[in-house]
Amino acid sequence: MSDSVQLSPAEMARYARHIAIPEFNLTAQKKLKAAKVLVIGSGGLGSPMLLYLAAAGVGQLGIVDFDVVDDSNLQRQVLFTVADIGQSKAETAKRRLQALNPYIEIKVYHTQFTKENALDLIADYDVVADGTDNFPTRYLVNDACVLGGKPNVYASIFRFEGQVSVFNYLHEDGSRGPNYRDLFPTPPPPDLVPNCAEGGVLGVLPGIIGSMQASEVIKVITGVGEPLAGRLFLFDAASFTTRILKVKKNPTTEIKTLIDYDLFCGIQPVSTLDPIKEIKVQEFKKWLDDGEDFQLIDVREPYEYEISNLKGTLIPLDQIVDAVANIARDKKVVIHCRSGKRSAAAIRSLQTHFQLDNLYNLEGGINAFAQEIDQSLPVY
């Protein structure tokens, strides 16, 4: 760190509780001011992480997020309020963080993190913090950090469980610690692990795990404490238990270039999949009004059905094949979920196994129906 990094009297007062820690003191605080951290995702994990990194005095924060604030985010994404719904998450986060700490710089990248821009985005930053919620992006973040020589502070959450680690950490001897692929060489099957929208997440969990992630970022920057390099921290909020697993480097792990991560994770492009019939919510409403004879099947989870439903027969996606006897063959069948993704998967599975040709996917799912037809239904 250059000796040219100085703290103003106002900054000295603001960070006094840091400076008072003997092991931290002014030296570590100057390292924070000189540091640049790129946070990918400003949602569940990104919200608490960004708040604490900004409050701690990290000199420059970069935020990568192309999403907008949705009402269903507010249960856990504490950067945002009702007034922010429909606004850019990254821009909204910048305003909130700048109000929290005017002594730091914040750059916004309102874009998706892709293999085309990943290396350019991380190039100017010292540390990358992964706040994403899907496997293709996690592998992309990891590989970009390995190729770009950046430490990757990782975390993930699901229902009551969270995990944290520091990948590709640069040790004093110049060696690098394990990376995400050393822990998870290959991704799980795409339909095996639901995302947080489908499987749910306890609202306080990202606050707990995101704060731990911020702590690891600070440790990596300052050299104070022992980062979770070569270790995976596991937390279960339901039982309030923790475990730490050792992570070893795999000598066969080799990362040479960025790849097609959707393909690597088994997510097929829509253009390569068998076509399915779809029905727009307006036409679906007309079928309802006209008394059209059809069967309606809801492939969401029971808790989602309780939030809102269209009075269809509930058959969760993982049970749809076994329940084929309950699906009509002599009339039209409309299948829906939250957004149309799981219902499309259900239809493809039924068409593949049983050659059913009377199935229609409700385009946009129940959320589209709520937004365009019946605003009394909640969007989640």
- Distance between CA atoms of residues 15 and 343, nearest Å: 52
Structure tokens at 369: 């129906």
**Range 250-263 burial, b when 16+ CB lie within 10 A, else e:** eeeeebeebeebbe
Q: Look up 196 and say whether it is catalytic.
A: yes
Q: Which strands form 277-279's sheet, in the order they lie side by side? A: 277-279, 359-362, 332-336, 294-298, 313-314
> Catalytic one among 128, 221, 315, 337?
337
Structure tokens at 367: 């959320």
Residue among 317, 316, 301 nearest 349 (CA):
317
> Catalytic one among 196, 281, 346, 347?
196
Rounded (to 5) percent helix, strand, coil in the chain: 40, 20, 45
Cβ neighbours for 280, distance < 8 A, ≥ 6 positions apart: 363, 364
Residue among 150, 151, 124, 148 nearest 60 (CA):
124
Residue among 350, 341, 348 nearest 368 (CA):
341
Q: Look up 337 and say whether it is catalytic.
A: yes
CA distances to 69, 78, 84, 97, 300 from 75, in Å: 12, 8, 14, 19, 20
- How, if at all, do strands 277-279 and 359-362 pair? parallel
Residues involved in catalysis: 196, 337
